[in-house]
Amino acid sequence: QAATNTHPYFLNSYFKLAEIYYVKKDFTNSLFYINKAIDIDANESFLPLCNLAYQMNKNKDHAFALAIMNRFSVSKIDAELLKLNKNDKVKMLDIEDGNLKITQY
């Protein structure tokens, strides 16, 4: 936690703290650090937090995974991040019937 005070724009600290609190089932603090990371830079936070949401969904914490994805829906995500090279393989994340759906292209 001290790292977030010393280096407030180093996003990895927020990702790790969110994950640690999630593992401890402290959803309030986990969500606090998720929101801080997205507030600082939604574009840089997108993939790491989508991975965390994926893990949450695998652990049957669907509502929490959905909360993360919903948070991104009201954030400014750079449209350039969504453009893909035709040779790129990507896993697309989506919510379907309350479950995180992953499609590989």
Structure tokens at 80: 């350039």
Give, in degrees to the nearest 5, the angle at Cα 45 between 44 and 47.
Answer: 90
Evaluate if pTM is beyond 0.75: no
DSSP notation for 17-63: HHHHHHHTT-HHHHHHHHHHHHHH-HHHHHHHHHHHHHHHHHTT-HH
The tens-digit pLDDT sequence of the chain (105 residues) is 665 656 566 788 889 999 999 999 998 899 889 989 988 888 889 889 989 999 998 999 988 888 888 887 777 766 555 554 444 444 444 555 655 555 554
- Where b means 16+ CB within 10 Å and e means fewer, 23-38 reads eeeebeebbebbbbbb
